[in-house]
Chains A and B, each alone.
Chain A
Amino acid sequence: MATPLDPHAAIVTEAAGIDDGPLRTVDGQPLEKALARSSRAARRRAFMLVLPLLAFIVITFIMPIGQMLYRSVHNDGFAANMPQISAWFAETKPGTEPDEAAYAALAADLLASAEARSIGVVGTRINYEKSGTRSLFTSTGRQVRRGIEPPYREALLEIDDEWGDPELWGAMRNVSSAYTDSFYLASIDRTRNAQGEIERVEEHRRIYITLFMRTLALSALITALTFILGFPVAHLLATLPIRKSNMLMILVLLPFWTSLLVRTTSWMVLLQQQGVINDTLVWLGIIDQQGRLQMIYNQIGTIVAMTHILLPFMILPLYSVMRTINPGYVRAARSLGATSWTAFRRIYFPLTLPGLGAGALLVFILAIGYYITPALVGGSSGQLISNMIAEHMTGTLNWSMAAALAAILLGGVLILYWIYDRLVGIDNLKLG
Chain B
Amino acid sequence: MALPKYASPLERIWHWSYLALCSAIFVFLIAPILVIIPLSFNADRFFTFTQEMLSFDPDGYSLQWYDELLTFGMSAPDAPRNGSWFADMWANSKWVNAAKNSVIVGIFSTLVATVLGTLAALGLARPEMPFRRLIMATLISPMIVPLIITATGLFFFYSSACVPEGSWLHMLLGPFLSNRGCLANTYTGVILAHATLGIPFVIITVTATLIGFDQSLNRAAASLGANPRTTFFQITMPLILPGIISGALFAFVTSFDEVVVVLFIAGPEQQTIPRQMWTGIREQISPAILAIATLLVVFSIALLTTVEILRRRSEKIRGITPS
Contacts and interface: CB of A to CB of B under 8 A. Distances in A.
Interface in A61-95: 61-65, 67-68, 71
Interface stretch (A26-34, A96-104, A110-118, A270-278): A270-278
A9 B95 CA distance: 71
Nearest to A230: B25
Interface in B93-143: 112, 116-117, 119-120, 122-124, 126, 128-130, 133, 135-142
B142 A57 contact: yes
A160 interface: no
Interface in B288-323: 289-290, 293, 296-297, 300-301, 303-304, 307-308, 311, 322-323
Contacts of A353: none
Size range of the interface on B?
35 or more
B123 A279 contact: no
A253 B307 CA distance: 11
A372 B33 contact: no
Interface string A245-260: 0001011111101111
A431 B29 contact: no
A134 interface: no
B277 interface: yes
Contact of A275 (B48, B122, B146, B204): B48
Contact of B120 (A52, A252, A269): A52
Contacts of A413: 144-146, 149
Contact of A67 (B123, B129, B156, B193): B156
A254 B30 contact: yes
Contact of B156 (A48, A71, A370): A71
B304 A250 contact: yes
Interface residues of A, number: 88
B147 interface: yes
A406 B147 CA distance: 10
B152 A68 contact: yes
B281 interface: yes
A409 B149 CA distance: 8
Given A53-B119, A60-B196, A265-B293, A68 B153 contact: yes
B264 A393 contact: yes
Nearest to B140: A426
Interface in A223-254: 229, 232-233, 236, 239-240, 242, 248, 250-254
A390 B123 contact: no
Contacts of A432: 307, 311
Contacts of A176: none
A249 to B, nearest CB: 9
Contacts of B138: 54, 57, 62
A274 B128 contact: no
Contact of B301 (A252, A254, A368): A254
A372 B25 contact: no
B205 A431 contact: yes
Given A233-B25, A413-B145, A393 B1 contact: no
A29 B144 CA distance: 48
A62 B199 CA distance: 14
A39 B129 CA distance: 10
B2 to A, nearest CB: 9
A262 B293 contact: yes
Interface stretch (B58-66, B68-76, B253-261): B253-261
B26 A251 contact: yes
B152 A389 contact: yes
Given A46-B126, A53-B139, A426-B140, A393 B260 contact: no
Contacts of B28: 229, 308, 311
Contacts of B308: 253
A327 B264 CA distance: 50
B296 A259 contact: yes
B11 interface: yes
A269 B290 CA distance: 9
B154 A64 contact: yes
A259 B32 CA distance: 12
Contacts of A208: none
B123 A49 contact: yes
B131 to A, nearest CB: 8
A322 interface: no
A47 interface: yes
B193 A60 contact: yes
Given A60-B193, A274-B46, A308-B32, 8 more contacts: A42-B126, A42-B128, A54-B120, A67-B153, A233-B25, A258-B296, A371-B260, A393-B264
6 contacts: A46-B126, A54-B139, A236-B18, A259-B256, A266-B32, A311-B28
Nearest first, the 5 A-B pairs at minimum CB distance are A369-B146, A49-B123, A64-B157, A64-B153, A53-B120
